[in-house]
Structure 1
Amino acid sequence: MTSRPAKPLEVPAGPAPEARPSWSQTLRVYREPATLRMLALGFSAGLPLLLVLGTLSFRLRGAGIDRTTIGYLSWVGLAYGFKWVWAPLVDRLPLPLLTRRLGRRRSWLLLAQGLVVAGLAGMALADPRGGLAPLVWCALLVAFGSATQDIALDAYRIESAAAERQGALAAAYQTGYRLAMIWAGAGALWIVAAARLGATGYENAAWTAAYLAMAASMAIGVLTVLLSAEPAPRAFAPARSPAEWLRQTLVEPFADFFRRHGWDAALILALIAVYRISDVVMGIMANPFYVDLGFSEAEVATVSKVYGVAMTLAGAFAGGALAMRLGVLRVLMLGAALSAASNLLFAWMAGRGHDLVGLTLVVSADNLAGGIASAAFIAYLSSLTNVQYSATQYALFSSLMLLLPKFVAGFSGRFVDAYGYASFFTGTALLGLPVLVLVALAARQAGPRPR
């Protein structure tokens, strides 16, 4: 009898590997309605920031306000660092009349935009030469409204698309944000120059025209909110008592994060706290550096404020596309490495003096790296949130990423005075080395999940 050969063992096939999207499919996401909405809402989010910080300091100095006072007034921006305090209310509290008509996210967006418009109009009508109090109170209203808009907008973005599209939404958001910064920075100064009609010195009427134009520009965000759809509402467990409602609103969003991530939460929070430290610390001394090298306001405005922002947009689009193809954590590592390395170019620039071509190359590289890092970082933060508490958790993350860098940056001027610009920029690049280690550990903690 002839024996038949043994039948080979059949090994069950595993799941088919996920097909990587083509470049045409990857780039098509930028034409989707959700992405275009985020472009407009990003503009609405980016407009107020410079109007209560950089542009405002330019206006105050022109009005004869001393630099010490201007420095103290920059604390208005701390509203952005503590927005997590009232984020739970934005996440859970319905607004009378508005929420029933618009939904939870859009109603808070519209309220916040109304506060920004009112504050900008008040800043337009105030004259700092007659006393700073009215201007400061209006600036605080703008900062509070802007921070509240950020809370609601981050939640709206996270709930509007699946995780694999968050990189593209982040890139569109960054694009709108940076375009608004060009308009609120260079655009406001152009309006002031045109409204002066050849006059010299401080003209408050010119600044009134500029700030009223900025308030009117918020119509882009308001119309987008009114014409957009509300994301699918998330159901919350009913509260049986006021104490239970407070627990669900104030405690549960933070407890949920630690329950989901366990001991890894410490690693994640450490990464969030230091990821942008080299950029933020270096950025405090960038403008004094340009002045000390003898660059004029026109040169800095053209290269840094306009062309540099354009390179940030290119970096944001590249970061969003790469995050979809390669995974967020890989692009997070790339952005951290490029951001730290670009600071070394500033150290190189410190030895060249007034070199416009060199400045253009350095600013281009720095802003391109920053755009890639920002898009990947926003996508990473979005992936960490639970949609049940998206506003609160994202507000916590985005606030945490600024507190330590802003504190360290406060000592940057003293360091430059003691050791010079070259040593300072080299030191900020070295600050990025622990970030690379933390990203590598986060990638290992994430295991086989590439995104």
Structure 2
Amino acid sequence: MSTATKGSPIRWVPSLYLAQGLPFFAVNVIAQQMLISMQVPNEQITRWLGVLSLAWGIKWLWSPFLELAPSKKSVVIVFQLLGAAGLALTAIALHLPVFFVVCIAALSLVSLASATHDVASDGLYIASLDHKAQAEYAGWQGAFFNVARFVSAGGLLILAGSLEKSIGVPAAWTAIFLMLAAAMVLLGLYNAWSLPGTRNVPADAGTAADVSRTLWHVIQDFLRKPGIWLAILFIILFRASEGQIQTIGPIFLRAARDLGGLGLTTDQVGWAYGTAGTIAFIAGSIVGGYFAAWLGLKRAMVWLILAMNLPSVAFVFLSTAMPTNFGVIAAALSLEMFGYGFGFVGVILYLMQVVSVGRYQTAHYAIGSGVMGLGMSLFRTISGDIQVALGYQNFFLWGLACAVPVLVLARFVPLESTPAAAPVAPPQVAEV
């Protein structure tokens, strides 16, 4: 690997990972709040946003073919601009009679562009920096991905709530998505200047047929691992509770009190989730990592699974007590996000230290994380129908019950760390 770049990496790493985060949170956070404000039924919101999230779960299927492009830089820029186009189309769609159908189509473009951009941007980072520089700038990756979280789940939701009150719901969200589109265009233009050139990109990727054969061998090797089907079940069920709670929780917060919700405004959700919640999530992730390192994965796993279900506990409390004090609500949501960040470490370490070990470690890590994403998409997709059938309070109790199977499985799947395993950088995205 080479460190030959256009100037210092500080000129392009922050903008690259800000551009990675903005479309992700546009689909997975902002779009949900927009659809709630547009009064789309719960089951429709969860079903279609669950489908959209599939892109991040299956991106490993086409990721090897990106090596056939002239350069990783060209792929990054193209998909940043395609993401901008999808965000702009979403803004326009809000004023059409069939806005929901067109919005979902436009957001599909955003999700596919974002998932592909994830692969290309990570590949560009790895190909352009040597191991020392990769380590030095890894913190900037996570920092600016989380800047995107702050901007999206915090600042833009707070702004959207204010605009809803002054210019109306459709106009407010049109402004928000146009801002996101403009930001992605500006980032694309800046990155076209700042990103490293193509000289570091290998030119021997082979033909599409060669890539397909290699991909098939990688998949076969993954499926031949001892106990892999039990491992796949464990990965899928690990986020069964949290995936559903993270989907229905924000809808519950916005739902009117006479419908069983807390009746929060868009800007209040932005303050609670995008600011305090994001800080709690980051803190939980850091503490969870040190906790797992202290105890070891095998001894820590039960505690990590229990922490992963703090979101269910928080929402059971909120749906039972129905507090009106915003400070109490924000505190409960901070506990939820801390538990989410803390517990999520468990599945990431399981993928790194158990599932991905072997001949194709990096590729198998990508497949394992894709399986996790597919499970998340499944539970997001069905969560709305379950909530409509059970009501909010019973739904959150159901979320608690979903923790039981994975606790049982934790006694049967291998959880020993493998010392020979090389470290693999965890994904910047925790929600998918």
Given the alignment, which residue of 69, 88, 94 partners 1:95? 69
Task: Tell me, in whole angstroms, the C-alpha distance in 2 between the residues paired with 1:385 and 1:107.
Answer: 30
Which residue of 1 is the match for residue 344 of structure 2? 374
C-alpha change, 1:448 and 1:237, in structure 2 (3 Å) is: same
> In the TM superposition, what are the counterparts of 1:141-156 in structure 2 within 5 Å?
141-153=109-121
1:138 matched to 2:109? The reply is: no
Which residue of 1 is the match for residue 23 of structure 2? 48
1:343 matched to 2:297? The reply is: no
Which residue of 2 is the match for residue 424 of structure 1? 395
What is the CA distance between 1:417 and its match in structure 2? 5.5
Which residue of 2 is the match for residue 179 of structure 1? 147
Task: Tell me, in whole angstroms, the C-alpha distance in 2 between the residues paired with 1:380 and 1:156.
Answer: 26
Q: Normalization by structure 1: what TM-score?
A: 0.70
Amino acid in structure 1 at the alignment position of 2:315: F
Identity in percent? 24
1:213 matched to 2:179? The reply is: yes
Task: Tell me, in whole angstroms, the C-alpha distance in 1 between the residues paired with 2:197 and 2:362.
Answer: 18
> In the TM superposition, what are the counterparts of 1:11-90 in structure 2 within 5 Å?
41-59=16-34, 73-74=48-49, 75-90=51-66
Contact 1:158-1:390 at 8 Å conserved across structures: no
Q: Structure 1, unaligned stretches of length 5 or more? A: 1-32
Which residue of 2 is the match for residue 246 of structure 1? 212
1:361 matched to 2:327? The reply is: no
Which residue of 2 is the match for residue 3 of structure 1? none
C-alpha change, 1:309 and 1:444, in structure 2 (3 Å) is: closer
Task: Tell me, in whole angstroms, the C-alpha distance in 2 between the residues paired with 1:65 and 1:414.
Answer: 14
What is the CA distance between 1:147 and its match in structure 2? 1.2
C-alpha change, 1:184 and 1:419, in structure 2 (3 Å) is: closer
Task: Tell me, in whole angstroms, the C-alpha distance in 1 between the residues paired with 2:45 and 2:313.
Answer: 30
Aligned residues: 400
**Structure number with larger C-alpha Rg:** 1
Which residue of 1 is the match for residue 243 of structure 2? 280
Task: Tell me, in whole angstroms, the C-alpha distance in 2 between the residues paired with 1:213 and 1:152.
Answer: 24
What is the CA distance between 1:146 and its match in structure 2? 0.6
C-alpha change, 1:347 and 1:435, in structure 2 (3 Å) is: same
Q: Normalization by structure 2: what TM-score?
A: 0.73
What is the CA distance between 1:116 and its match in structure 2? 1.2
Contact 2:17-2:145 at 8 Å conserved across structures: yes
What is the CA distance between 1:395 and its match in structure 2? 4.2
What is the CA distance between 1:363 and its match in structure 2? 1.5
Amino acid in structure 2 at the alignment position of 1:181: R
What is the CA distance between 1:307 and its match in structure 2? 1.3
Which residue of 2 is the match for residue 201 of structure 1? 168
Given the alignment, which residue of 122, 125, 129 partners 2:89? 122
Task: Tell me, in whole angstroms, the C-alpha distance in 2 between the residues paired with 1:73 and 1:417.
Answer: 15
Task: Tell me, in whole angstroms, the C-alpha distance in 2 between the residues paired with 1:326 and 1:231.
Answer: 44
SS at match of 2:24: helix
SS at match of 1:271: helix
C-alpha change, 1:108 and 1:434, in structure 2 (3 Å) is: farther
SS at match of 2:262: coil
Amino acid in structure 2 at the alignment position of 1:304: Y
Which residue of 1 is the match for residue 430 of structure 2? none
Amino acid in structure 1 at the alignment position of 2:305: A
1:316 matched to 2:285? The reply is: yes
SS at match of 2:69: coil
What is the CA distance between 1:336 and its match in structure 2? 1.8
Q: Structure 2, unaligned stretches of length 5 or more? A: 1-7, 424-432
Per-residue displacement from partner, 1:110-161 (whole Å, max 9, x unpaired)? 3322321232233344443354365444322211101112233455677878
What is the CA distance between 1:251 and its match in structure 2? 0.5
Task: Tell me, in whole angstroms, the C-alpha distance in 2 between the residues paired with 1:280 and 1:64.
Answer: 22
Task: Tell me, in whole angstroms, the C-alpha distance in 1 between the residues paired with 2:345 and 2:124.
Answer: 17
C-alpha change, 1:299 and 1:244, in structure 2 (3 Å) is: closer
Given the alignment, which residue of 255, 278, 290 partners 2:220? 255
What is the CA distance between 1:52 and its match in structure 2? 3.2
Which residue of 1 is the match for residue 429 of structure 2? none
- Tell me the C-alpha RMSD between the 2 structures: 4.4
C-alpha change, 1:447 and 1:142, in structure 2 (3 Å) is: closer
